[in-house]
Structure formats: structure tokens, C-alpha cells
Amino acid sequence: MSLARVPSLDPEWFSRDEYGEQIRKWQAWLLTSAQEYIACGQRVSDWLVALTSARTELIQLVWQQQIPQNLRDGMEYIVLGSGGRGEDFLHSDLDHAVVLAPSLAPEDVGPFLSNFIGRMQNFGYPLCQGFVMSTNPRWIGTTLEWQTRIQGYFDFPDWENARYLFMTLDGVPLSASSRTWTEIVDPVWQGVRESPFICWEMAHLGIHRTVALDVFGHLRKVSGSRGEAVNIKDGYLNPMVHSIRLLAIVNGCSHTSTLDRMKCLAEQGVFPESWLARIESALEFGWAIRLAAQVADLRSERPVSDCIHLGELDSKQKEQLVHHLETAKQLERWVHRRFTKPR
């Protein structure tokens, strides 16, 4: 079977004030593409990269449409979260930040940013539940304001501020030619890498005991809308993604993609090739069942959830789920032991 492709956007859609029919068509294409790709049995990570690329193109087109040129020239859009890592899903949030030129203030651009976010909602980008968006004063500002804010996080590195620092390290400018974000984020890489306390916080407060297996190896289940379930994002994927990110920072790997970070770590001998293969296999499986669940929810017009309902998995899938969760648990424990609390 040939590989399904993520559909291309038609720029003509964005020359009109209303394009509801085109929005529905594009979303239907995405669903069909995802379904066909899953059926191919290929690496879902490749499709996620293609999806992220398509969504990035969408951001660029809506950004140009909703932000006037005279303001846009002084604004730098930063893709955060899964988008920055190239791991967007069909229902990933619109995590982003904005860097402003010194001549601009948040109140100058706020109404346009609200319109931009609203239009992106129309295209299937849900609002970020953690409010990691440019309409939040924490995620917008001039270079100097960003640098001052980040220094404040380092000066008082409680767990909340440490989280903000790690979140910036998944950031990628929408414009590939931008150097502004590099000036802001490079000191974060260095500061986190040189702070045993901040690294300990991530290992012990952000990663430890987050995998959906208890100390006896039993599934930690949640109550889903259709019976017992496992949260595939918080209880499976995030612990691995965050573990790899932490290890990458400490070992000087500047990639944002989780798979690229893993390859860099393997090349440095941080963990053996055999472990690399196990973690990669676990990620691919987790991404695949999460994508399949999102497709099913969207097809059925249900609210999209990160819960994988155990009653809807066959015996082989359940066995694979436990097997890969054990890999995630092993990685979690290894990271926990590696980062001890500074005295």
C-alpha cells in the first residue's frame, strides 16, 4: 500500500472572509490521511512530521491573514510544545509564544492575536489548557523582557518556574531565518545544563512516578468515558519525551525532535543502541495508538481524549501496551536515579 500524504493547503482559501467548507474539507482530508497511514503499518513518526509541517504552513497563512504587515514585521512567532518537536497530533494545542520588537507592546497586538487564535480554533487547533499562548503576558514580550523574565525563573527556580524554562527549550521560530529566539533561548540551555537543582526538579517532580504502571508493574488506570483507560499522553508518552529532553540538555544535544535527541544520546554513549531501539519502538507504538484513538474520536464526533480505553484494545495490543510501558518505566527509574538532589 502506498503511503498516505498529508493534504496541501490551498492559499486561495485564505483570501476569503469565510471558508467554512474548505476548513471541513481539509479536516476530512487529514482524518482520511491519518487512517490510511495507520493502515499502512508504517512509522507514525514520519506522518507526524508531515502533519507538523502542514500545520506550520497553516499557521503561516493565518498569521499573514490576521496580523497586519506593519505589526507582523516586528513580531516573531515561536512554535512550542509538540509542534516545536515535530510531533503534532490532529488535536494538539496551539502552544506558542511571541517575541516583539522594542517599538511594540502586547496591547498593540493583543486584538490581532486574539483573532488569529480564534481562526486557528476554526481549523481544529484547541486552545492550550495551560494558556501557553501569546495572549498570556508570560509568553509575549521584547527580547529584553524575555531575558528579564527568564533570569527571574533562574533566580527563583521553584518547580513552576523550572517548567517554564524547559518549555522554552522545545521552541522553534516560525521563520527559519530568525536569530532573535536563539539569543533568548541559548542562555536557557546553558543555565539549565549547569543547574543540578533544576535538572533534579524535572527528574523527580516532573518525570518520577508519572508512567502508568505502579511499583508492582500493574496498570494505573483512569476512568474513561467508555470504561477503564490509560492516559496515553501523561502516563506514557510525556514521561519518555521529558526524560529524553532532560538527558539531551545535560549532554549538550541541541535538537528539539525527540527522535533526533535520542540518536544524539546514543552517539554519545549515554545509553546503548539496544535501549535506543526499545525506546524508539515504545514511542512509535504510543504515537500510533494515540493517533488511532484521535481518528476514532473525531470520526465519531466525540470529544477528543488522550484516554486509551482498554476494552477497545485486542489482547495483542494490551500485551504491547504493558511491554512498552515497562520500557517507559525503566527509563523513568534510570533518570530518577541519575539526578540526585544537590546538597
- Residue range 231-257, pLDDT digits in tens: 999 999 999 999 999 999 999 999 999
Predicted local confidence at residue 2, as pLDDT? 40
Predicted local confidence at residue 12, as pLDDT? 67
Model confidence at 264: pLDDT above 60: yes
Model confidence at 3: pLDDT above 70: no
Q: Count other Cβ atoms within 10 Å, centred on residue 341.
A: 10
Model confidence at 9: pLDDT above 70: no
Model confidence at 263: pLDDT above 50: yes
Q: Specify whether 144 is located in the same domain as 252.
A: no
* Alpha-carbon distances, residue 215 vs 6, 191, 209, 339 (angstroms): 41, 34, 9, 20
Beta strands in 41-192 (DSSP E): 75-79, 96-100, 140-142, 172-173
Q: Specify whether 161 is located in the same domain as 265.
A: no
Please state which of the ranges 48-57, 182-191, 263-272 shows the lowest mean pLDDT.
Answer: 48-57
Digit-coded pLDDT (tens) for 36-60: 888 877 788 988 888 888 888 889 9
Predicted local confidence at residue 51, as pLDDT? 86
In the chain, the number of structural domains is 2
Predicted local confidence at residue 299, as pLDDT? 85
Mean pLDDT, range 159-163, rounded to an integer: 97
Q: Specify whether 101 is located in the same domain as 155.
A: yes
Q: Specify whether 230 is located in the same domain as 167.
A: no
Predicted local confidence at residue 274, as pLDDT? 81
Digit-coded pLDDT (tens) for 137-151: 999 999 999 999 999
Domain containing 333 — which CATH number? 1.20.120
pTM: 0.93
Domain membership flag for residue 217: yes
* Alpha-carbon distances, residue 307 vs 55, 137, 206, 230, 292 (angstroms): 23, 31, 20, 5, 11
End-to-end CA distance of the chain: 57
Comparing 103 with 58, the larger pLDDT belongs to: 103
Q: Specify whether 149 is located in the same domain as 226.
A: no
The whole domain housing 268 covers 195-343
Model confidence at 260: pLDDT above 60: yes
Domain membership flag for residue 172: yes
